[in-house]
Structure 1
């Protein structure tokens, strides 16, 4: 009997030692422009939202780098400086003499990064997928992907299929976040759900910022990742952007 109890205790302790809590934020920041003040750029407020969430991994969409509408600031570097986090910027398009795209911020060391151009069936604004590999405090590596899918339906479907197929080939635990410009019952989300798990119990609308009625921003986890949801919620931050931030905390088992 003692041997059986000891074995159970050992198994539980082993599992706990290899489980880690990870806090995640996804946020379309509308290039730092509060919708209620068209002439203002307020990156410090965006940074405060991120710091208050105390997220380990942050996926940000609609980021300007040296554009006139946002005072020629490199918003990727500025947000990294304001939050004290490591960063990886992924260009979607060239604009003026600068760039426009997505940003990953992380408290953890980035040990690898990749950027992919997403497929386009119809002519539209180029979109990208960024993936970073980060080394967690226990020395294990976790992959984190961030994207902003196109508005056009055919492009979204093609991009979702591309991400699904790429995600299936990634062997490390993988988290996917972003503005997918798609509602839960759309084909785009159904395709992604073939490879990724989304929260269906405490999720909610993320757009627009006032009177939100559409869920188009998501945090998903690949099916090959052993995890459980600890928290999943929409943060009621209505000032800084036309989207609401999405926050999740997961308990992930790393081998």
Structure 2
């Protein structure tokens, strides 16, 4: 009897052992994440010229899996009535999501997410501003992305307030912290935070996120860079292994350097 049951007993222990083994969140090869403020495709040295091919070349050279874009036009007069997120995504063969922040110049202005992996759902989340504020509305563009191993990644692109006063950025940072806590799905938020690392807004975000860099290189302006305001932030509720982090010293396509990290 025992000999007959032995294969079943071994099978039971094997299944139990396998079931207890945690499955990796990221694919074995890891993922490469990029953030890039593209200045609506206008090289700062070229007045009103729109050069989306240059933006696509910069992104292609890094071969990222997921990209957060800021300052993206959609059907504006200044950009030749082009859906910039769609045009860039098509050049790169990537999925995309456009997150409108505001009406602008007969079209829209906002952010975008590009992904090599399928985008399962998206949302545009309004970020708060002080009641007396008269500037641009700010948003979080959010996408749930299905990774090759079946895991789901929550990914966001942001462009926080650029005013000299830090009041709005602080409100927006606290809102991002609350949005993170709404779901358990691990999240990465990347973008132009318009805030240096020691600012109060970034201190708020530091409570909930880990940076992909320790000593973060300057990201703006491209000719004489003097401050870091573009970041990739990693949900602290998950353990991330940062294989590499790089600020790409590309000086033509935009007024910001793109930032790239590999997570494994």
| TM-score, scaled to structure 2 | 0.87
Distance 1:47 1:16 in 2: 34
Distance 1:162 1:231 in 2: 29
Query: What is the number of equivalent residue pairs in this alignment?
Result: 241
Secondary structure, in 3 states, of the residue corresponding to 2:168?
helix
Report what 2:81 is aligned to: 72
User: Counting strand residues as a fraction of each chain, which structure ranks higher?
Assistant: 1
1:142 is aligned, of 124, 144, 153, to 153
- List per-residue Cα deviations over 1:69-110 (Å, max 9, x = no partner): 111111111111111111111111101220000010000001
Distance 1:228 1:207 in 2: 26
Distance 2:58 2:23 in 1: 30
Residue 49 of structure 1: how far off its partner (Å): 1.1
1:128 is aligned, of 125, 139, 149, to 139
Q: CA RMSD in A?
A: 1.7
Tell me, which stretches of 5 or more residues in structure 2 are unaligned? Answer: 1-13
Distance 1:179 1:73 in 2: 23
- List per-residue Cα deviations over 1:112-157 (Å, max 9, x = no partner): 1111111011222111101101111111111101110011321111
Report what 2:194 is aligned to: 181
Secondary structure, in 3 states, of the residue corresponding to 1:37?
coil
Secondary structure, in 3 states, of the residue corresponding to 1:214?
coil
Report what 2:222 is aligned to: 209
- List per-residue Cα deviations over 1:15-55 (Å, max 9, x = no partner): 68654311000000000000111131110111111111111
Report what 1:236 is aligned to: 249
Contact 2:40 2:72 (C-alpha < 8 Å) held by counterparts:
yes
Where do 4+ consecutive residues of structure 1 move more than 2 Å?
A: 14-20, 199-202
Secondary structure, in 3 states, of the residue corresponding to 2:223?
coil
Name the CA shift for 1:144/1:201 in 2 (closer, same or farther; >3 Å).
same
| TM-score, scaled to structure 1 | 0.90
Tell me, which stretches of 5 or more residues in structure 1 are unaligned? Answer: 1-6
